[in-house]
Amino acid sequence: MAGRRGATLRAQWLGKHLREYRESAGLTLRQAGDYLQRDIATISRLETGVIPARASDVLALLNLYGVDDHKVRSGLEQLSRDIWRKGWWDGYAADSLGKLFDHAWLEARAKTICCYAAMVVPGLLQTRDYAHAVISAGDADASGEQIERWVEFRMDRQRVLDAETGPRLEIVLDEAVLHRLTGGPGVMADQMERLLEVMARPNVTLRVLPFAIGAHASPEGSFAIFDMPEPYSDATYVETRGGAVYTEAEGAEVFTRAYDSLRNVALTPEDSATVLRNAVNRVGRARNRSVIIPEELAGVAWYISTRSADGGGQCVEAGPLPDGSGRVAVRHSRHPDDAVIVYTRAEWEAFVGGVKDGEFDFPAS
Each residue's pLDDT tens digit, 86-143: 544 444 444 444 455 578 878 988 999 999 999 999 999 999 999 999 999 988 888 9
Write down the pLDDT at residue 294.
60
Write down the pLDDT at residue 331.
87
Q: Of the candidates 66, 92, 95, 62, which has an alpha carbon nearest to the alpha carbon of residue 76?
A: 62
- ∠269-275-276 over CA atoms, to 5°? 85
In tens, the pLDDT along 316-350 reads 888 888 877 778 888 888 888 777 888 877 778 88
| Section 40-58 average pLDDT | 89
Percentage above 90 pLDDT, the chain: 45
Write down the pLDDT at residue 307.
62
Write down the pLDDT at residue 328.
86
Per the prediction, the chain carries an average pLDDT of: 84
Report pTM. 0.64
The answer to whether 19 touches 62, Cβ cutoff 8 Å, is no
Regarding predicted confidence, which is higher, 217 or 9? Answer: 217
Segment among 88-92, 169-173, 256-260 with least mean pLDDT: 88-92
Question: How many residues make up the chain in this entry?
Answer: 365
The answer to whether 207 touches 272, Cβ cutoff 8 Å, is yes
Write down the pLDDT at residue 96.
44
In tens, the pLDDT along 69-85 reads 988 898 888 878 877 66
Q: Give the domain ranges of the chain.
A: 9-85, 89-287, 294-356
In tens, the pLDDT along 223-245 reads 999 998 876 778 898 988 877 78
Instruction: Give residue 20's region: left, alpha or beta (phi > 0; psi -120 to 50).
Output: alpha
CATH number of this structure's domain 9-85, picked from the four choices 1.10.260.40, 3.10.580.10, 3.30.70.141, 3.20.20.140: 1.10.260.40
Q: Which amino acid is at 257?
A: R
Q: Of the candidates 326, 356, 354, which has an alpha carbon nearest to the alpha carbon of residue 342?
A: 326
What does the alpha-carbon distance between residue 270 and residue 268 come to, in Å, rounded to a whole number? 5
Q: Of the candidates 77, 68, 71, 61, which has an alpha carbon nearest to the alpha carbon of residue 29?
A: 61
The answer to whether 218 touches 258, Cβ cutoff 8 Å, is yes
Cβ neighbour number for residue 320 with a 10 Å cutoff: 18
CATH number of this structure's domain 89-287, picked from the four choices 3.30.70, 3.30.870, 3.90.1280, 1.10.3470: 3.30.870
Residue 167 is given by DSSP the state P
Pairing of strands 303-304, 223-227: unpaired
What does the alpha-carbon distance between residue 102 and residue 97 come to, in Å, rounded to a whole number? 10
